[in-house]
Structure 1
Amino acid sequence: MDFQNIKELLKRYDFSFFGLSLVIFIFGIINLYSATHTSASFHHANLYKVQLGWYALSLAVGFGISFVQPKNYFRFAWFVYAFNVFLLVLVLFLGHKGMGARRWLLLGPVRIQPSELMKLSVIFVLARWFRKHSPDQEMGIKELIVPFIIAFIPTLLIVLEPDLGTGLLVLLIFFTMAFFRKLKWKSLGILALVGILSGGLMYQFGLKDYQKRRIKTFINPTADAKGSGYNAIQSKIAIGSGKFLGKGLMKSSQASLNYLPENHTDFVFSIFNEEHGFFGSILLIGLYLFLFYRFVWLAVNVSRIFDSIVIIGVMSIFFWHTFINMGMVMGLLPVVGLPLPLMSYGGSSLLTFGICCGIATSISNSRNMF
């Protein structure tokens, strides 16, 4: 490939998804360093270096995927889905146990979390099913039975790990994609009713005691202020103390004094609020909103239905992670342990978001390059 071809290729290449994710990641890596630099643990104090390594890997993988033709997502959807279901079953029997859950498979020194990749597998299979079985007419309950089963199988396996947050996220991805495919309002009402009833049954018979405590803590965190409600209370203290402009970089008392546990994963947004205040938080939220807008714009402007549905599915991963994480640290939702995209520490989730950007870029590029 000569210089002129490379120049033409770069001219047609859509850098917006990787560009926006890079800006958010820069916010995230600075915030991660700020949250952990005073830690007495050598491992915690160097988490930002590990995160940089994971981001480099996720960027490389995502960039490679950006040159994959979207028709391959359609072609291999069922194979990738079946393989990921197999990995989830394997996790239940051979998975590495940590913090009371089996969520990881060990491959030498590397831990992989199949539930992260399952989100993408579900998107490809659902998009393929909606493409072939759901033309332009509105869908009723009957048309949703098969796609619901497709989403429910991995959801059940993930909840059994147990990982309730990721399991519910898979269902939210399904509902978002179904709604995008012209769901009847009557069907939407029935699904809402079923969701409420099944939620009540799950709370009564399916949730473990610690999961029930999270819900009770969400309703009244002060009832156990030194126990299950501690994180929620400290998180709101961090957010409130940031006021309008924040305390400044590396000046978070909640992080430096270690009042807020998991300040590098679940509660990074709390530390960001404390140090950068309302103004900084609005800026960060604006970046996420612009990223969501790019996804929706692309979904509306691609010519192939399958590509459009995939983009909405990928967007829903970013959206629900962001919405749920920010909601839980502000006390608006129960704490479920979902990372904030490109901000929270974590290799598997960072790799997933990098792949998501690669998929979106490949579909955008396909309009001009393939």
Structure 2
Amino acid sequence: MNKYKELNPSLRTIMTPGPVEVDPRVLRAMSFPILGQFDPEFTMLMNETMEMLRDVFQTSNEWSFPVDGTSRSGIEAVLVSIIQPGDKVLVPIFGRFGHLLVEIAQRSGAEVVFMETEWGSVFDPQIVIEAIHTHKPDIVALVHGETSTGQMQPLAEIGKMCRQLDILFVVDAVATIGGVPVKTDAWHIDAVIGGTQKCISVPSGMAPITYNQRIETKLRSRKQIERGLRDPASLDHEPSLVPVRSNYFDLSQIQDYWSSARLNHHTEATSMLYGLHEGLRILLQEGLEDRFARHELNEKALVQGIKAMGLSLYGDEDSKLPCVTCINIPAGMDGETVRNKLLQDFGIEIASSFGPLKGKIWRIGTMGYSCNRKNVLHVLGALEAVLIHEGHKLPAGEAVQAALSVYAESSKEEVSC
């Protein structure tokens, strides 16, 4: 007798900063029959996915495609492919994932200079620009939305200065793409990395990226060196670069796979591509501006509900990440007990945090398919109930009413328009 039961995961209301709930249409798409990776039907899907990614990244870049792997695979693919050992990389850190950029850059052989600001805030762009002038980096790598602290860094001024000084500007937009504007071209970003499992609402397993001609020039230079090392006679000069240290994450090879040449590099993750294609189609069908407005509305309702409950937000509200809300855990309250009761009694998952914020804040995500009125009202009512059950005094009933008022006011504005 088989001791393993048939898989039957519990239904959850997932209100974390990722992963989030997946649209049923995406799950249906992922169940479709497998096509060969060079089947014309499949290569057409690849081309359409690239077209849709250009729209979502708000770019005219030719190269906009997913790297197979979680979001971190996209970050690593970009950094390991463009960092030449000895390059100077400046990383402004305002949360956990800035440290990840530092680690990957160091492993790629970079000379890393990092600067930090207090968690719960972001950098004044002029401070970063001053550091750029001081350190004269080859690359600036920066997180757009920090899910660890619920903060979002302004990018436009930094990107403009990087372009003026011919510095490559790389942005981790894993938490923001599909939920808030990411203006790749307007903000002069050379490479952007996204994620599927957050505002795009596709299971984790692909990392959409985009990069421009400035990045491609460096990729092709390093690829020439790689070929030259195999055949020195093909080089007409002394090598000044070294080949990319990774085979799997070598963007020049992945780019050839996504080009019209379809040079084989790996076996494409067929079902994941189905899911990404459908997720992007749904996103663009909703429309970028309407999608951004939906995230803002549900954030506002959640925030007003949290405040009406007598709880306080963590971090600078002026730079708050719209799709992640961080809440200070009340004094004397065991945050993990509350999270466990939300999961066990209401089927709701919210997140704790990392490092210096561990045990101090809760993080609630309003991302993609999870970002809706039902979920916001559900999490507010459940959190209030659990807090009261744990002995915390609060104005019962006010949280949901505050959120309902936000939704009612929004409905009036829509009617008046």
Q: TM-score under structure 2 normalisation?
A: 0.28
More helix as a share of residues: 1
Give the number of the structure whose alpha-carbon radius of gyration is greater. 2
Structure with greater contact order relative to length (CA < 8 Å, sep ≥ 6) = 1
